[in-house]
Amino acid sequence: MEFEEIQEIWDLQKKQSMYTVNERELHNLILTKKKQAGKLVNLTELMQIIVNTGAGAFIFQKNYFSLKGNFFLYLLAAWMLATAIYILVGRLRRIKRGKRFDESTRGSLEHAIADATHKVRISQLMRWNIITIALLIVLGMVEGGQSIWIIAGMVIFLGLAFYGSGFEHRCYVSRKRELLSLYAKLEQGQPASI
Amino acid sequence: MTSIEQEQIFEAWLNQYKALIFKIVRAYAFTVADQDDLFQEIALQIWRSVPSFQRASSVMTWVYRVAINTAIKWVKKERKHQGAKEISPALCLQPENTRKVDERLDWLYQEIHKLDKIDRSLSLLLLDGLSYKEMSDIMGITESNVGVKISRIKKQLIAKSLKYTSYGI
């Protein structure tokens, strides 16, 4: 078969419609999605900002009003608040960067890769952040004279959190790898001079 | 733009370009439920894209871009959630019962479906007669890159068609 014949087969569709659209259902769907729009967007980032700010502020005020201030707990509160600010700045940068990409397939893929890179970086940083937080918590507990068993329990809990966060990080890495592979396919055959 | 204007533009686009959307839906999804799911997703994305359309490209190019990007993303998402999908009781998209089944067209869609996601999009644009310039605008790659890919796709489709005709179907 020549390509022109394949083209003729394709053009057969012009003579008849494949589907009919149930416009009422479509309209209802759009109304539902309109209400939902934006609700789930950026939930992870917002949660991280809220949790870090809330926990940081709570630890600070608890420590401030206690009879004997704990240096490591002050450090922990400051660290958590700094983490929240870091995520907030990263989020604002990401939103600003999102406006830079065009609507083509390549632009859309580049946008998705930039978002995936951001998630990989944040999940990696948050993972290592658990170690810093764990260290400050343990030092704070030692300074506060907590029993060795409570400290050991806390270490095990934080160790599990560190291990679990590895799964999340690997998910983002794998998603980014998929996007890069798709991008490489799009770029395949690109002349070297361009 | 008011929401009424957005809806009016969306309806006009949908009416004018529904044949184009149907082809993308059929090329990317096999079952009726999947085709309906993808159609809903594309329709939603087109509706969302109305306010950001800036007339830098033609409406057709814009609709193609949105529909193809949505279909590519949908395939990725679909692979992850296979088996966990709910079947909606009321479908937005209903296959025409009066449609005559043309085996050659079914074969062509099957062959397009075997291509990777990027080549699948390009083959649709090629068969719909878009220029390299338009394809380049939609896909965001250079015209020379489009040329390389199109030449490969044409060769692939011709080779497959030879096998198909040799079976005497």
The token pair at B37 is: 């799911």
Q: Tell me whether residue A33 is in a domain.
A: no
Question: Is the CB of A106 inside 8 Å of chain B's CB atoms?
Answer: yes
pLDDT tops 80 at residue A118: yes
Q: Tell me whether residue A49 is in a domain.
A: yes
- Closest-CA distance, B147 to chain A, in angstroms, reads 9
Q: Tell me whether residue A166 is in a domain.
A: yes
Q: Which residues of chain A lie closer than 8 angstroms to B62, CB-CB?
A: 103
- Give per-residue pLDDT as tens, A152-190: 998 899 899 889 888 888 888 888 888 888 788 777 655
- Give per-residue pLDDT as tens, A105-117: 777 778 878 888 8
Q: Are the C-beta atoms of B153 and B73 separated by less than 8 Å?
A: no
Among A38-42, A96-100, A134-138, B4-8, name the most confident range: A134-138
Question: Is the CB of B144 inside 8 Å of chain A's CB atoms?
Answer: yes
pLDDT tops 90 at residue B67: yes
Q: Is A21 helix (H, G, I), strand (E, B) or coil?
A: strand
Helix ranges (DSSP H) in chain A = 3-11, 23-36, 43-65, 71-98, 105-143, 148-187
- Give per-residue pLDDT as tens, A47-95: 889 999 999 999 899 888 887 778 888 999 999 999 999 989 988 888 8
Q: CB neighbours (10 Å) of residue B30?
A: 12
- Closest-CA distance, A102 to chain B, in angstroms, reads 8
Pick A92 or B101 by higher pLDDT.
A92
The residues spanned by each domain of chain B are 1-99, 100-169
Size of interface A-B (CB pairs under 8 A): 145
Cβ pair B44:A14 closer than 8 A? no
pLDDT tops 60 at residue A193: no
A145-149, B27-31, B54-58, B112-116: least confidently modelled range: B54-58
Question: Is the CB of B56 inside 8 Å of chain A's CB atoms?
Answer: no
The residue among B75, B17, B50 whose CA lies nearest residue A30 is B50
Question: Architecture of domain B1-99 in CATH?
Answer: Orthogonal Bundle (1.10)
pTM score > 0.90 for this model? no
Q: Tell me whether residue A36 is in a domain.
A: no
Confidence at residue A191, expressed as pLDDT on a 0 to 100 scale: 44
Q: Which residues of chain A lie closer than 8 angstroms to B93, CB-CB?
A: 19-22
Q: Are the C-beta atoms of B93 and A19 separated by less than 8 Å?
A: yes
- Give per-residue pLDDT as tens, B148-157: 999 999 998 8
Query: What's at B108, amino acid-wise?
Result: L
- Give per-residue pLDDT as tens, A55-68: 999 989 988 888 77
The residue among B148, B3, B29, B153 whose CA lies nearest residue B85 is B29
Confidence at residue A192, expressed as pLDDT on a 0 to 100 scale: 37
Task: Identify the closest residue of chain A to B119 by CA–CA distance.
Answer: A186
What is the domain extent for residue A132?
42-187
Cβ pair A106:B139 closer than 8 A? yes
Which CATH topology does B100-169 take?
Arc Repressor Mutant, subunit A (1.10.10)
**Is the Cα dihedral B72, B75, B76, B81 positive or negative?**
positive
